[in-house]
Amino acid sequence: MIILHTRVRLMLLASGIVAAVCLVGAQQPAMTPSAQGDPLGQIVPVDPLITVGTLPNGLRYYIRANTQPRARAELRLVVNAGSVLEDEDQRGLAHFVEHMSFNGTMHFPGQDVIGFMQSLGMRVGAHVNAHTSFDETVYELQVPTDNPVAIDRSLLILEDWAHSVSFNPVEIDKERGVILEEWRLGLGADERIHDTQFPILLKGSRYAERLPIGKPEIIRNVNHERLKQFYADWYRSDQMAVIAVGDFDKSLIERQIKSHFGSIPAPASPKPRPAYAVPDQPGTVYSVITDPEATATRIDAISKMAARPQTTVGAYRQQMVEQLFGSLLSARLDEITQRPGAPFLAARTVRGLFLRAEESTTISALVMEGGVERGFAALFTEIERVVRFGFTATELNRQRLNLQRSLERALVEKDKSPSGPLADEFVRNFVQGEPIPGIVYEFGMNQRFLPQITLAEVNRVAETWMPDRNRLIVVSAPEKDRATLPSAAKLALVIEGASGAPLTAYVDTVSSQPLLAHLP
């Protein structure tokens, strides 16, 4: 059986500063960055090392030469379609189509995709993979580039997936059982907890009704036409991108991509590709979930908001302000974790996209058994302390230095970035518009904005970090601890109490002086 990742993948925190650290990878010095002077309203430019093009049929491509690892290329076919586009009677079919792509295509009948990849020494899971999520389906191959035939054949696999999956009737019916088995066996505690959480988090939206795993009765009974219809509707040239990153000649790859994908006909009368929003909910919703296989007690507070545009220089600057806020608060939580008898084992806070239309701010902690109330009280006390007193100038200076150092490291190591994460950046650029300016430009933006960002500006973020609106409080714990878990009403009291308690300002006892003195 093919082991493919098909669970929901949430968009990770990929933008702004996080991206700076994993982005990178230039072979030659990039063009002189204009980051110092670009107006805030300008769109962040594309790294000149990336060739981005659109074929006449609408298909987009991204190509970048990269020598980590040597003699290898990462290929992706990205389809801007996932489970959210399924009709009511198609629930689970985006994932089913993904499975059928490994069960026969025009040039690779039967299991020949896997057979071919194995003949190159590549393994399923490690070098051949795919996943279906709410808004996109992504196919991934890693192939050797020292064999001239291999890369062309691999692009042919991607081309077949794009428009020539066979949907052999016998194979369709055989695959039903495989998917149901995956559904039954593949779920671990984390997935079950997520699957319980998503409908609450996404309540009132189309997403809440379209978990990628779908409905077992539809997988079991759906007719072949409805499956093929999903493929015909959404696997089309104006909704797909091909990505190639690796140790190859870029212009040769561009010619091969044009020849493979240029002949796919543009759709004659394409269905509009809808975008779905997640409606705001008033106040706070509570959810306490237990699972027999859960091994730890985890508490999360999640605050949602509609996704803001992220493509401009000004948006990048705002992400820096918020990222600084997140690392400042995480540092305070971390300091608490170090104390004897701390209320949590680990805690951290982040903000970022979690669906293409929705951003979330999350504060998460692992607590000891029976420590849920104490954990929440401690988290909300620290948020409230920041709301009332803000951070100190010395704390901000430390985080500025940390950020500066990680960017300097990224810049020094820009030629060591592996092709896989680079390819994944381009996937995110295609599906959600994440900027891909390259580390040189990004470093320039940071040089420009870091000294400008004031303490007052960072402190202002506190009010909107975890407000009592459009908010979800989640506890997930081992089933055996169910009796010890607090009710929603109890949690509400704990959080309210923490927000109203008398507090003193934080006193920074971590000295910044030696760090500053040792900077080169």
Instruction: Closer to Zn ion by CB, 231 or 325: give it.
Output: 231
Catalytic residues: 98, 175
State how far the Cα of 520 lies from the Cα of 511, in Å rounded to an integer: 18
Report, in Å, the least distance between residue 32 CB and Zn ion.
46
167 and 129 Cβ atoms separated by less than 8 Å? no
Mention every residue, 6+ apart, whose C-beta is less than 8 A from residue 143: 72, 73, 75, 117, 120, 122, 127, 150, 151, 154
Instruction: Closer to Zn ion by CB, 182 or 358: give it.
Output: 182
Site of tokens 């079950």:
192
Find the binding residues for Zn ion in span 177-236 (CB under 5 A). 182
State how far the Cα of 260 lies from the Cα of 380, in Å rounded to an integer: 55
Mention every residue, 6+ apart, whose C-beta is less than 8 A from residue 453: 317, 320, 321, 324
Task: Using DSSP bridges, classify how beta strands 51-54 and 60-65 pair: parallel, antiparallel or unpaired.
Answer: antiparallel
Report, in Å, the least distance between residue 108 CB and Zn ion.
18
Write the DSSP assignment of 115-174 as a string of letters.
Answer: HHHHHTT--BTTTEEEEE-SS-EEEEEEEESSSHHHHHHHHHHHHHHHH-B---HHHHHH
Question: Residue 411 gets which letter from DSSP?
Answer: H
Residues in the chain: 520
100 and 290 Cβ atoms separated by less than 8 Å? no
421 and 342 Cβ atoms separated by less than 8 Å? no
Instruction: Closer to Zn ion by CB, 113 or 473: give it.
Output: 113
State how far the Cα of 249 lies from the Cα of 261, in Å rounded to an integer: 18
Q: Which stretch binds Zn ion (CB under 5 A): 5-13, 150-158, 162-170, 459-467?
A: 5-13
- Our measurement of the distance from residue 64's CA atom to the centroid of its chain's CA atoms, rounded to an integer in Å, reads 21
Report, in Å, the least distance between residue 214 CB and Zn ion.
10
Report, in Å, the least distance between residue 92 CB and Zn ion.
10
Report, in Å, the least distance between residue 97 CB and Zn ion.
11
Report, in Å, the least distance between residue 101 CB and Zn ion.
11
How many chain residues are in contact with Zn ion, going by CB under 5 A?
3
Instruction: Closer to Zn ion by CB, 215 or 385: give it.
Output: 215
Instruction: Closer to Zn ion by CB, 174 or 271: give it.
Output: 174
Q: Applying CB under 5 A, does 6 fall inside the site for Zn ion?
A: yes
Instruction: Closer to Zn ion by CB, 62 or 230: give it.
Output: 230
Residue nearest to Zn ion (CB): 6
Q: Applying CB under 5 A, does 101 fall inside the site for Zn ion?
A: no
Instruction: Closer to Zn ion by CB, 135 or 182: give it.
Output: 182
Mention every residue, 6+ apart, whose C-beta is less than 8 A from residue 219: 92, 96, 176, 179, 180, 183
Q: How far is CA 483 from CA 472, 478, 487, in A?
A: 22, 11, 10
Report, in Å, the least distance between residue 179 CB and Zn ion.
6
State how far the Cα of 299 lies from the Cα of 371, in Å rounded to an integer: 10
Q: Which stretch binds Zn ion (CB under 5 A): 70-78, 175-183, 229-237, 431-439?
A: 175-183
Find the binding residues for Zn ion in span 147-166 (CB under 5 A). none
Which of 415, 419, 411 lies closest to 441, judged by CA? 411
Q: Which stretch binds Zn ion (CB under 5 A): 4-12, 152-160, 262-270, 470-478?
A: 4-12
Find the binding residues for Zn ion in span 253-282 (CB under 5 A). none
Report, in Å, the least distance between residue 212 CB and Zn ion.
9
Q: Applying CB under 5 A, does 145 fall inside the site for Zn ion?
A: no
Q: How far is CA 239 from CA 79, 188, 271, 354, 500, in A?
A: 6, 32, 11, 21, 50
Find the farthest-apart pair of alpha carbons in the chain and give their distance in angstroms, rounded. 71
Instruction: Closer to Zn ion by CB, 103 or 318: give it.
Output: 103
Which residues contact Zn ion by CB under 5 A? 4, 6, 182
